[in-house]
Structure 1
């Protein structure tokens, strides 16, 4: 594997580097991702524990069957992280919003977006 040129490095950076597009502080993700995974698991354990408390005592087939049905009636809660967006997509979006707000000249914005797409390898005929 040979050395990469600066152009190759930039193209790979635009395609593979990821940025938090969820809209919250990227530093808070370190805590909030763990918390958001933890809370549904805790709620599921609490729900199961409450139902299984009813079965304590002597073994009764009818009661255990009813409790098992109650356990599986409700679908367990879950949380899934939304994926981060590629750096190139984030840059395109910020340029488009600058053009839309009138901060940047539309022609300059189109050229910058075209350059980003070329570096990502997504140049199209309409550009």
Structure 2
């Protein structure tokens, strides 16, 4: 099925995503695994610190306390942040231009309105 250019633009505004987190979009390939590694490492270090307290002479109370700390400590979790839809990003950039004095408010609002016409917001 062939799509018209207008349909393509509407779909692009809705489906295409842009990184607004502030980092290079290509760096996510390395930063996502790094984030997971940091979370796992934090969990391992927390468990290690709790268990180090139980080192030394065998004391049942200290061992139970260390085990309880390891089990009850909430593990660190890595969460990915979703990218923003292209329509949202374009509208935000147009508004930013007005705020910085780079564009006139009337012209920019007309452009934002045009973006919203092409971009079906839920």
TM interval, short-chain normalised: 0.7 to 0.9
The CA distance in 1 between the partners of 2:49 and 2:99, in whole Å, is 54
The CA distance in 2 between the partners of 1:99 and 1:28, in whole Å, is 30
Q: SS at the partner of 1:81?
A: coil
Aligned residues: 120
For the pair 1:91 / 2:95, whether they are aligned, the reply is no
1:72 corresponds to which residue?
Answer: 71
Q: SS at the partner of 1:27?
A: helix
Q: SS at the partner of 1:3?
A: coil
Instruction: Give the TM-score normalised by structure 2.
Output: 0.81
Q: CA deviation at 1:107?
A: 1.5
Q: CA deviation at 1:72?
A: 2.0
The CA distance in 2 between the partners of 1:87 and 1:31, in whole Å, is 23
RMSD (CA atoms): 2.5
Structure 1 regions of 5+ residues with no counterpart? 123-127
Q: CA offsets per residue over residues 45-85 of structure 1, 9 Å max, x none?
A: 23334545748xx9x97666434312123211122122110
Q: What are the residue-to-residue correspondences of 1:49-60 with 2, within 5 Å?
A: 49=48, 51=50, 54=54
The CA distance in 1 between the partners of 2:120 and 2:39, in whole Å, is 40
CA distance change for structure 1 residues 102 and 50 in 2, over 3 Å: closer, same or farther?
closer
1:104 corresponds to which residue?
Answer: 103
The CA distance in 1 between the partners of 2:99 and 2:65, in whole Å, is 60
The CA distance in 2 between the partners of 1:52 and 1:100, in whole Å, is 55
The CA distance in 2 between the partners of 1:120 and 1:99, in whole Å, is 21
Structure 2 regions of 5+ residues with no counterpart? none
